Structure 1
Amino acid sequence: MKKNLLLTLLLVFLVLMNGVLLFLFFSKPPRRSGPPHMFVVKELNFNTLQMEQYQVLDQKFEQGMRPLHHRRRQLKNEMFKMISEGNGSVKEIDSITDLIGDSEKERDLKVYYHFRAIYELCNPEQKKRFQRIVQDALQRGRKKGPGPPHGH
């Protein structure tokens, strides 16, 4: 009798959990299809010439960002490897985090100049739309909330 009760309770629990998972899965807001940069291009409604110029800009941007991502990943791996190896002085960690910070700064500058170049491709009406898109993105970024507490 206890075995049947336990199996019944387990079955009810699993059915409830499946229901919760289905609800969470289907209640997600729809995601935009395609990469974020295509959303911007679509919203700006670039003409053929603008699209060609944008593709050149985007290709150069991607080529410039790849080494930065790779370098940042290497630096972070090196830093966290020190944890498992039980070594790494404060000076070494500070040096690596400074290099990571420099890499982040370079990445942010590349992103800024890339968006500035996109803005320059736009006609006056597209520039207004571009400004709205950027403001909306900034607002969404603020809604995600603060990062982890300092010192943790």
Structure 2
Amino acid sequence: MKSKLLPALLIILIVLNGFLIFMLIKKPHQNREHLPQRTFLTEQLQFSEKQKEVFENLDETHRETMMDLDKKIRKQKDILFNSFGSDDVNTDSLIKKNGELQVQKEVEVFRFFKSVRKICSPEQQEKFDKIINKALKGAGGVKPPRNNDRRPPREGGMPPPR
């Protein structure tokens, strides 16, 4: 029994190692060309090849800007939340800086979509406006229940005793 099990386990381990090596080398989970969010607008608006090229340039610039802002926000939050034990850190200025970075993100998102709209034909602009309005309102305008029916609302604001 043991002598038959050993070769089977050895084959399984070899196959698993081969699969792991493939995943490490090819990294199919990081293939960005197949991400649906990158092609959603181009497909919905039926962009021409020239429009797709301009869109890809706008998108790349937008993504770099957003990643840079996200890094800055993360850095500010790290500084803020690591300052609990320190009295010489001005938390108000850190919070204000973080808010300014959030505003920059909102401005960047608006700028990106405004730039995308500029490359659209008038018919595409109508479709684009509908897509953006639908996205702003959320999927179908359905809101989740306020308390998710997990527990009854508390009165008085005090947490329950332990």
TM-score grouping bracket, smaller chain normalisation: 0.5 to 0.7
Over the matched positions of the two proteins, sequence identity in percent amounts to 25
RMSD between aligned alpha carbons? Answer: 2.3
Match of 2:107 among 88, 101, 109: 109
Letter in 1 for 2:39: M
Give me the TM-score of the superposition, normalised by structure 1.
0.65
- 1:87 paired residue number: 86
Q: Secondary structure at the match of 2:86?
A: coil
Match of 1:120 among 118, 121, 125: 118
- 2:95 paired residue number: 97
Using the TM superposition, give the Cα deviation of residue 78 of structure 1 relative to its aligned residue in structure 2, in angstroms. Answer: 1.2
- Return the alpha-carbon distance in structure 2 between the equivalents of residues 101 and 143 of structure 1: 29
Structure number with greater Rg is: 2
Give me the TM-score of the superposition, normalised by structure 2.
0.61
Moved >2 Å (runs of 4+) = 33-38, 86-89, 141-146
Using the TM superposition, give the Cα deviation of residue 81 of structure 1 relative to its aligned residue in structure 2, in angstroms. Answer: 1.5
Q: Counterparts in 2 of 1:5-16, with a 5 A limit?
A: none
The structure whose RCO (Cα within 8 Å, separation 6+) is larger is 1
Q: From the superposition, tell whether residues 73 and 35 of structure 1 become closer, same or farther in structure 2 (CA, over 3 Å).
A: farther
Letter in 2 for 1:55: E
The structure with the largest helix share of the pair is 1
Unaligned runs of at least 5 residues, structure 2: 1-33, 147-162
Letter in 2 for 1:87: S
Q: How many residues align?
A: 111
